[in-house]
Amino acid sequence: MNPIKIEDVAHVRFQAPDLAEMRNFLEDFGLVIVEACSHRLVARGDGPAPAVHITELGDPGLVALGLRAASLDDLEALASREGVATEPLDLPGGGRRLLLADPDGHTIEVVAGQAPADPLPAPGAQPWNSIHGRERLRQPKRVTGGPSHVVRLGHVVLNVSDFRTSERWYKDRFGFITSDEIQLTPEIALGAFLRCDRGSTPTDHHTLFLAQSPKGPGFNHAAFEVADLDDLMLGHQRLKEAGRHAEWGVGRHILGSQVFDYWRDPWGHTLEHWTDGDLFTAADGSNVATLQDLMGVQWGPSAPPTMA
C-alpha cells in the first residue's frame, strides 16, 4: 500500500456521562469550550486547530483518534484504497472525514479540509535571564495566574495487543517514521514513538506512540502543548488547587525531551501538559531505546505504577 503522509494529530473524541463535570475539568486544564449542547462538548486550544477535544454524552471512554491528512486529495486517495467513503466532518471548520478501525478496533478518524480558526491570545513571551544571556533588563518578570494556555494537541498514546501488527498498519497507511523503538532485546520490541513524515520540515519527536501493554489495548493518554514552562507550572497550580487528580510530574522525559505534567480527567483518562519537546526531520532517522529510557526522567519524580 502507498501511504499518505499524515501532517499531525487532529483531535481526540471521548464519551462521558456528565458533560457539565467534563466542562469544569477541561476549563481547569486550559481548553476553551466552543460548543456545548445536551449531547456533546467541543473544545479548542489557542492555536489554529478549530477542535482538539470532543466529549459526547455516553459511557466513559475513547471514541476516536483524529489524524489530519495533508489535503482532501490525500483523503480521497486513502478512501479509495480502503474501500470506504468520505463524509462531512461534524466539527467547527468543516472539512471531510473517513473512519477506519485499527487492528485492535480503535476508531481512527482521518480528516482534511478543515478551515483554521483564528488563534486566541496567548501570554507574551518573556525572556529568561541565565548565565548564557541576560535578556530581560530593568524589568521584573510577572506571570498571570489561571489555567495553562493549551496551544494544540501534540500526540496520543495507544496501548495495543501486538506492536508489530499495529506498527505496520499505521505506517502502511499514514507514512509514520520511527523516532525511538523500545526494545527489551533485539528480537523483542514493546513499542515505538512515531513521527510524521514532513520531509525537511521539522516535526514533533512523536505524534503517535504505540505501546504493547499488559493491560491490553486501549487509550493511554493524550498530550497537549502549552505556552512555556511558566505556563505549565501555573496550570499545575490551578489543577492542584481545583482538587484534580495528579498522576505524574513535573519532570523532563528522556525520549522526546519534553517537560511533562500528567493529570486525570474525572473518569480516569490521562491528559498531559507538555512544553519544550524535540523536533526532527525525515532525514534524522530512527533510534533504538530501552524500557528504562522510556520510563526514566532527566529530572523529576519517578514514574508511578499507573504509567507502566
- The answer to whether the beta carbons of residues 46 and 117 sit under 8 Å apart is no
Residue 214 predicted with pLDDT over 70: yes
Q: What is d(CA 225, CA 287) in angstroms, rounded to the nearest whole number? A: 24
Identify whether 143 is part of a domain. Answer: no
Name the domain count of the chain.
1
Joined grid coordinates for residue 141: 518578570
The DSSP call for residue 294 is: H
Identify whether 133 is part of a domain. Answer: no
* Amino acid at residue number 265: D
Categorise residue 293: left if φ over 0, alpha if ψ from -120 to 50, beta otherwise.
alpha
Query: What average pLDDT does this structure show over 96-120?
Result: 97
Instruction: Tell me the CATH number at 59.
Output: 3.10.180.10
Query: What average pLDDT does this structure show over 137-142?
Result: 92
Identify whether 1 is part of a domain. Answer: no
In which band, very low, low, confident or very high, does the pLDDT at 1 lie, cut at 50, 70 and 90? confident
**pLDDT tens digit string along 19-69?**
999 999 999 999 999 999 999 999 999 999 999 999 999 999 999 999 999
Residue 308 predicted with pLDDT over 90: no
**pLDDT tens digit string along 256-267?**
999 999 999 999
Identify whether 89 is part of a domain. Answer: yes
Q: What is d(CA 179, CA 207) in angstroms, rounded to the nearest whole number? A: 10
- The answer to whether the beta carbons of residues 259 and 251 sit under 8 Å apart is yes
Q: What is d(CA 189, CA 202) in angstroms, rounded to the nearest whole number? A: 26
Greater confidence (262 vs 123) lies with: 262
Identify whether 135 is part of a domain. Answer: no
CA 204 to chain centre: 10
Q: In which domain, by residue range, is 37 found?
A: 6-115+149-307
Identify whether 289 is part of a domain. Answer: yes
Angle at CA of residue 85, ends 163 and 5, nearest 5°: 45
Identify whether 138 is part of a domain. Answer: no
Provide the angle, in degrees to the nearest 10, between the axes of the packed helices 19-29 and 229-241. 140
Give the rounded percent of residues in the chain with a pLDDT score beyond 90.
93
What does DSSP say about strands 107-112 and 96-101: parallel, antiparallel, or unpaired?
antiparallel
Which three-class secondary structure string do you get for 159-202? EECCHHHHHHHHHHHHCCEEEEEEEEECCEEEEEEEECCCCCCC
- The answer to whether the beta carbons of residues 4 and 175 sit under 8 Å apart is yes
Identify whether 131 is part of a domain. Answer: no
Interacting residues of 97 by C-beta distance below 8 A, sequence separation 6+? 66, 75, 86, 87, 88, 89, 109, 110, 111, 112
Report the candidate in 230, 275, 278 with the shortest Cα–Cα distance to residue 257.
278
Interacting residues of 293 by C-beta distance below 8 A, sequence separation 6+? 180, 182, 254, 255
